[in-house]
Amino acid sequence: MTTQAPLSWPGIARLGLVQSALGAIVMLASSLLNRIMVVEYAMAAALPAGLVAFHYGVQLSRPKWGHGSDAGWRRTPWIIGGMAVLGGGGILATFATTLLAGPFWPVFAALVLAYAMIGIGVGAAGTSLLALLATRTAEARRPAAASLTWIMMIVGIVISAGTAGALLDPFSPQRLIAVAAGVVAVAFCITCIAVWGIEGAPQDVEKREAAPFGEALKGIWSDRLTRLFSIFVFFSMLAYSMQDLILEPFAGLVFGMTPGQSTSLSGVQHQGVLAGMILVGVGGHAFGGRAGMKLKRWIVAGCFASAVALASLALAARAGPGWPLAINVALLGFANGMFAVAAIGSMLELAGRGGPGHEGIRMGLWGASQAAAFGIGGFAGAFAVDRLRATLRADAPAFELVFAAEAVLFLLAAIIAFRLNDRMESNPAGRPNLEEAVA
């Protein structure tokens, strides 16, 4: 709790810079090192995929980190500390990757430790950052704040990936370590500068009293709206992530696209995501009505639109070349961007339910749901396509069935979002109904 006024737009943008820095370091582990392991060191693709899935598993600890920031005086130390652990994990992962030409198992142990540090750092810094954004952002600004911070995170990933890629040529292990260290150093410095003084002087921040972790977690889980939103986050993000690893193979196997063409198609999807995020940020801020209810409408619309786009991809698998695939993928990205930013904005709006001092653990619970969905989704989508291709002995029907299943998941998420609307309307004050509590 703070005696300060809500954050101004420059203050919100400062927290967005932290998201940019966080995304820049995560890019090292999830994208750059992925390619280096598989291409330069001829490792099986399962190695980086498993390590990325493991780092999502570690993020199931997010509620604990969020509770820790709830119980303290300030969230800033958790953000800076988390970024330090994240940066250390990124550098260790990079250094261990350069040793893959030697004995495998010691290097593998180092990689597991590094990706555990990455998961812990993302959990501690990211959860505390969102909790701070939730407590310090005025309700009317939350849709635009969610959009701004996530767009800045994507921009951070794009800039760091482009810069790192340019500096890595010609490739050498020493150059890789130097580039990774530079990305981490810049990201950490940006974080420290961005959060400096944003919570005010120590006397401006009242000490928060928090229940023990187990009691606090049981208390927020007893709120049906919190529980329902956690389920929504899981199913929607599961549907969102299932196509991550299969869209480019789909374009190559069914539509005969070259690697360059399929990569460009992925770029079209990300452009659509940005457009959807901008629409929600501008529309959610500009149009009348209570902010939370506006966001729920965007969530439902985004989920339905995502289901339609995925159903269209299932039809595209049957139709084959000649289908306007680029337009279809752009619409999928647009719909995904709509619902994703609206969901983040709703997290900011719902985080303070039941009074102040619980924002961190609520954000942690929803972050854990998202991490579980991302860890399962990418693997499940790729595994399902592989098994269906082997069983059906055909590519197009396998992709058709998986895309159709994703569409059903998004429809289920939309139904849950409708129920969220009903819960919000019946309990607008955001107070947990203790009579509805479950053990």
User: Domain boundary residue among 164, 180, 208?
Assistant: 208
Shared-domain flag, residues 311 and 224 = yes
Shared-domain flag, residues 270 and 200 = no
pLDDT the model gives residue 433:
41
With the C-alpha atoms ordered 73, 74, 79, 85, is the resulting torsion angle positive or negative?
Answer: negative
User: Is the residue at 333 inside a domain?
Assistant: yes
Shared-domain flag, residues 204 and 218 = no
Percentage of the chain beyond pLDDT 90 is 49
User: Is the residue at 438 inside a domain?
Assistant: no
Query: What digits encode the pLDDT tens for the residues 198-207?
Result: 887 655 555 6
Percentage of the chain beyond pLDDT 70 is 87
User: H/E/C letters for each residue in the chain?
Assistant: CECCCCCCHHHHHHHHHHHHHHHHHHHHHHHHHHHHHHHHCCCCCHHHHHHHHHHHHHHHHHHHHHHHHHHCCCCHHHHHHHHHHHHHHHHHHHHHHCCCCCCHHHHHHHHHHHHHHHHHHHHHHHHHHHHHHHHHCCHHHHHHHHHHHHHHHHHHHHHHHHHHHHHCCCCCHHHHHHHHHHHHHHHHHHHHHHHCCCCCCHHHECCCCCCCHHHHHHHHHCCHHHHHHHHHHHHHHHHHHHCCCCHHHHHHHHHCCCHHHHHHHHHHHHHHHHHHHHHHHHHHHHCCCCHHHHHHHHHHHHHHHHHHHHHHHHHHHHHCCCCCHHHHHHHHHHHHHHHHHHHHHHHHHHCCCCCCCCHHHHHHHHHHHHHHHHHHHHHHHHHHHHHHHHHHCCHHHHHHHHHHHHHHHHHHHHHHHHHHHHHHHHCCCCCCCHHHCCC
Shared-domain flag, residues 160 and 141 = yes
User: Domain boundary residue among 208, 229, 263?
Assistant: 208
User: Domain boundary residue among 208, 227, 256?
Assistant: 208
Residue carrying structure tokens 């509590």:
437
Shared-domain flag, residues 275 and 417 = yes
Query: What digits encode the pLDDT tens for the residues 336-375?
Result: 999 888 888 888 888 866 556 678 899 999 999 999 999 8
Q: Domain with 409 in it: what CATH number?
A: 1.20.1250.20
Range of the domain at 163: 1-208
Pull the structure tokens for residue 217. Answer: 């977690």
Shared-domain flag, residues 201 and 315 = no
Shared-domain flag, residues 87 and 185 = yes
Query: What digits encode the pLDDT tens for the residues 163-178?
Result: 888 888 888 999 999 9
Instruction: Please tell me whether the overall predicted TM-score, pTM, comes out greater than 0.75 for this model.
Output: yes
Give the pLDDT band of residue 421 (cuts 50, 70, 90).
low
Weakest mean pLDDT among 102-111, 201-210, 325-334, 421-430: 421-430
User: Is the residue at 218 inside a domain?
Assistant: yes
Shared-domain flag, residues 201 and 123 = yes
User: Is the residue at 432 inside a domain?
Assistant: no
Mean pLDDT of 53-59: 93
Shared-domain flag, residues 363 and 322 = yes
For residues 178 and 294, which has the higher predicted lDDT (pLDDT)?
178
User: Is the residue at 246 inside a domain?
Assistant: yes
User: Is the residue at 354 inside a domain?
Assistant: yes
User: Is the residue at 338 inside a domain?
Assistant: yes
User: Is the residue at 431 inside a domain?
Assistant: no
Query: What digits encode the pLDDT tens for the residues 377-390?
Result: 888 888 899 899 99
Shared-domain flag, residues 415 and 285 = yes
Shared-domain flag, residues 96 and 228 = no
Q: What is the tally of structural domains in the chain?
A: 2
Shared-domain flag, residues 237 and 148 = no
